Amino acid sequence: MPPLHIIPGATSFPNPLLRHPSKTLTPKPRPLSALLQWNRKPELSGSTPRVTVITSGKGGVGKTTTTANIGLSLARLGFSVVAIDADVGLRNLDLLLGLENRVNYTVIEVLNGDCRLDQALVRDKRWSNFELLCISKPRSKLPLGFGGKALTWLVDALKARPGGSPDFILIDCPAGIDAGFITAITPANEAVLITTPDITSLRDADRVTGLLECDGIRDIKMVVNRVRTDMIKGEDMMSVLDVQEMLGLPLLGVIPEDSEVIRSTNRGYPLVLNKPPTLAGLAFEQAAWRLVEQDSMQAVVVEEQPKRGFFSFFGG
């Protein structure tokens, strides 16, 4: 019998013996490409470019880390990606990508006519189909005229550039729900909401969900970050299933707590590039796969100990 392989987003097992345990069926041989999910490229769903804002409301939950890792995962899957750091004066995406020394121009210089758009785009040397675009330089203030219309113009310019439109435009949204948040979500047609399993993050995530829906963004998926299964089993942390029931959003991914995040941040080397891959890096890759195909995962309940009740875990 061929070995079983976990396929992201799958809702059933490929082995018919597991569906009908009372029957003795001989499984038919399956082609290798059907068993090995990573041997095929995911099918891009929806019209391109997909303009996705990555937001949370609360700071420090992992928006920039998610943008960097999902963006490079998409590039590794063969899609062209432009990541926009929309945090004015407090940009960090260039640091996580290790591109801080190559940012010579920003969107402000493009709007002022000091440079061309292609000069402000920083191409990653590791994956040439990934580009970074920063709104402004550190410690600088945004002009009064900059807002949602200016960012929409920028996105339209990326769509119409001579080199071709990118498949994905990822917007790293600043924390809070002030003018920077409104500016970042204006050109987006879908959103990825980052949250952690604590009440403060969930309250802010619920508030941001309402604001996104008021702005006309209906395609909202969430990523639950910094999950610790040991604390979930000890009933010291809310489970992924509890988070999903509270927010009522489709689940794009579950990222476990990983000490490698700090190391990768300090090195400017995203987790998804690590060899061998870490658990968090694999979770980001699976989330990117689901984002491409506009898929989601299901949180399931696993009974760990009958005396202590049911505990929520996450699955694919």
Give ∠ CA 85-89-92 in degrees, rounded to 5: 45
3-state secondary structure of 202: helix
Q: Is 221 annotated as a binding residue?
A: no
In 3D space, the residue among 287, 210, 294, 214 whose CA is nearest the CA of residue 254 turns out to be 287
| Cα–Cα distance measured from residue 163 to residue 183, given in angstroms and rounded to the nearest whole number | 26
- Cα distances from 166 to residues 7, 80, 81, 130, in angstroms, run 27, 5, 6, 9
Q: Is 208 annotated as a binding residue?
A: no
Strand partners, 73: none
In degrees and rounded to multiples of 5, residue 185 shows phi and psi of: -90, -10
Q: Is 183 annotated as a binding residue?
A: no
Q: Is 64 annotated as a binding residue?
A: yes
Q: Is 307 annotated as a binding residue?
A: no
Residue pointed to by tokens 């009372």: 22
Q: Is 164 annotated as a binding residue?
A: no
| Cα–Cα distance measured from residue 52 to residue 84, given in angstroms and rounded to the nearest whole number | 10
Helix (H) / strand (E) element for 76: namely helix 63-76
Known binding-site positions: 58-65
| Residue list for the binding site for ATP | 58-65
